[in-house]
Amino acid sequence: MITVDHLTKHYGRIAAVDDISFEVPKGEILGFLGPNGAGKTTTMRILAGYMPPTSGQATVAGYDVFKQSLEARRHIGYLPETVPLYTEMTPRAYLDFFGKIRGLDARTRRLRIDDVADKCKIGDVMNRLIGKLSKGYRQRVGLAQALLAEPDVLILDEPTIGLDPRQIVETRQVIRNLRGEHTVILSTHILPEVSMTCERVIIINRGKVAAIDTPENLQRRMRGSDMVDVDVRGPAEAVRAALQAIPEVIAIRERANGPDASIFSVDCAVGTDVRERIASTIVQRGWGLRELRAASVSLEEVFVQLVTAEPATSVAT
């Protein structure tokens, strides 16, 4: 549904987007993850038809976003980061206007407006001036505008920013429900959100693709070793030595957890499960085994790792 092919965008000498390529099949929800200034918004703007790429191509629903811009735009619903609105209008008038622009007749407009008002939970404020609405409501009016004509592709730039936790949950649910029917690209800073709503994630840093994969795969790939956390009451040095003696153990990190206990993060070779060996070692030596768990790399760590490393070649799958 969406193809991006060696897309590059220069602002002067700076490459905001630097040779990005990816594809989004129909019905998928793809997350754009990246630090500020990574090039997420620029990429979205290019896809939405707001600005041209410096080089490279992109197509939406089979239409080139630059050469067949008007056709491509017919298939796109876009919510810009700034959530621009006509503050002197009411949500109903605002949506009615965009309905007309999208070529919907009066009856269809009414039906669609009621539908998106219900989905985005703005039914209560339909006749209040947008200028008088809270940020959360405004955001949802913007989302309603993007959803109004049921476009094939939705491009949402930070759709949950500024919302309170309850609204965030509701909005994520709305987005999740779009899967299959619509193709969605959404950008966010909120990492848990990505795991919750997106099927695949593309991590962008400094204009380049740092990684593109499902959240689970990314977490798995980043784990160069299997890690086990064990909370032990006993003499730290001795415990460390005993654990180090286990052949599969690669490295041990330690931090104190009370006057006489420590938590050891044990890295061992991938695929080996040393939990039972650790448990028996500690118990046999008479130390107190308080907690034993397999630790996994969080998406946060994946993100930080990928983003603070030097921009290397893309790790696409």
Task: Give me the residues that bind other proteins (CB under 8 A), please.
Answer: 45, 48-52, 66, 69-70, 73-74, 76, 78, 80, 82-89, 93, 97-98, 100-106, 108, 111-112, 145, 149-150, 181
**Strand ranges for 39-173 from DSSP E:** 55-60, 63-64, 76-79, 153-157
Which of 51, 283 has the CB closer to other proteins? 51
What is the bridge-based pairing of β-strands 55-60 and 29-33? unpaired
Least CB distance from residue 122 to other proteins, whole Å? 17
Measured CA to CA, the distance from residue 24 to residue 76 in angstroms comes to 14
Give the pair of three-digit tokens for residue 149. Answer: 């004509």
Torsion angle of the four alpha carbons 172, 174, 175, 180, in this order, in degrees rounded to the nearest 10 = 140
Which of 130, 203 has the CB closer to other proteins? 130
- Laid out side by side, the sheet with 249-256 consists of 249-256, 261-268, 226-233, 288-295
Least CB distance from residue 302 to other proteins, whole Å? 32
Beta-carbon contacts of residue 155 (< 8 Å; ≥ 6 apart): 44, 47, 48, 76, 77, 78, 79, 146, 184, 185, 186
Least CB distance from residue 34 to other proteins, whole Å? 20
Count of Cβ atoms closer than 10 Å to residue 192 Cβ: 13
Least CB distance from residue 16 to other proteins, whole Å? 13
Which of 73, 172 has the CB closer to other proteins? 73
Closest CA to 100 of 116, 85, 112: 112
What DSSP element (H or E) covers 74? helix 69-74
Distance spanning both ends of the chain, measured CA to CA: 18
Least CB distance from residue 70 to other proteins, whole Å? 6
Beta-carbon contacts of residue 42 (< 8 Å; ≥ 6 apart): 9, 16, 17, 51
Least CB distance from residue 290 to other proteins, whole Å? 54
Least CB distance from residue 9 to other proteins, whole Å? 11
Torsion angle of the four alpha carbons 20, 26, 28, 32, in this order, in degrees rounded to the nearest 10 = 20
Which of 187, 281 has the CB closer to other proteins? 187
Which of 141, 243 has the CB closer to other proteins? 141
Closest CA to 155 of 311, 49, 245: 49
Least CB distance from residue 247 to other proteins, whole Å? 58
Which of 108, 280 has the CB closer to other proteins? 108
Which of 74, 189 has the CB closer to other proteins? 74
Which of 108, 317 has the CB closer to other proteins? 108
